Amino acid sequence: MLPPGNSERSGGQVVDVEMSMRARLRAGEPAALGELFDEQAQAVYRHGYRLTADRSLAEDVLSATFLQAWRIRQRIDPEGGSLQPWLLGIATNTIRNLTRKARRERNLLARLWPPEQVPDFADEVVGRMDDAGTLASVREALRNLRTAEREVVALCVWAGLDYASAAQALGVPVGTVRSRLSRARRKLAASEGRGPELIPRLATDNRWPPDAARPEREGNR
């Protein structure tokens, strides 16, 4: 297998061979992972931040997602389009694991110290938002959704994936994505506050969250 930019002879003629991103990753080319990071890091980071409302956790999600992507690169389908659905699927699983871990740690801290001494990350995050009311309204609206329903909202509404891509990311049938999103929309429509009207608007606002800028690779700083 030839690296990108090399050429081979076919019938006496030199033919350029350009490997796809998928092929380069499957072949274990580190530069391909770096290019994928530059292309998709912001999407992964925002996905993590929107589901956790915690910048520190979102950074952990970002790192863990690309580390896991490199570990399981051989599972990438040789043919296909954007790798974003695959990455967001890894990120979603990572968020589930980190959220469970954070919940266990908070429960442990609550047992060791009085509750008033346990820091609440929500107030810190809201305080950094340009529009704290927006974040608070959205989080309140999402609170009544099940985890699976929040995930399809994040993928289909915020990340803009179609049903098939979201199904690929979550490893579920397309019909499951449709039904989860339908339930989520019904619950949001019945909820009080501004959540239902804000969530679709935020799908087209790439500035949200305003402090969720894409982290850079060390080599680019």
In angstroms, how far is the first alpha carbon of the chain from the final one? 33
Q: Is residue 125 part of a domain?
A: yes
Polymer length of the chain: 221
Q: Is residue 219 part of a domain?
A: no
Structure tokens at 86: 């695959």
Domain span including residue 148:
29-73+80-210
Cα separation, 20 vs 26, in Å, equals 10
Q: How far is CA 94 from the centre of its chain?
A: 9
Q: How far is CA 47 from the centre of its chain?
A: 3
Q: Is residue 20 part of a domain?
A: no
Q: Is residue 24 part of a domain?
A: no
Q: Is residue 221 part of a domain?
A: no
Q: Is residue 129 part of a domain?
A: yes
Q: Which residues of 49-81 are buried (b: 16+ CB within 10 A; e: fewer)?
A: bbbbbbbebbebbbebbbeebeeebeebeeeee
DSSP secondary structure code for residue 54 in this structure: -
Q: Is residue 2 part of a domain?
A: no
Q: Is residue 52 part of a domain?
A: yes
Burial of 166 (0-12, 13-18, 19+ CB in 10 A): buried
Domain total of the chain? 1
pLDDT 10s per residue in the chain (221 long)? 444 444 444 444 433 346 799 999 999 999 999 999 999 999 999 999 888 878 888 899 999 999 999 999 999 998 888 999 999 999 999 998 887 766 665 666 666 655 554 444 444 444 444 455 566 667 777 778 888 998 998 899 888 899 999 999 999 999 999 999 999 888 887 775 555 565 655 554 544 454 455 555 554 44
Q: Are 176 and 167 in contact (CB under 8 A)?
A: yes
User: Cα dist. 215→48, 49, 205 in Å?
Assistant: 13, 12, 19
Q: Where are the beta strands (DSSP E) in the chain?
A: 7-10, 13-16
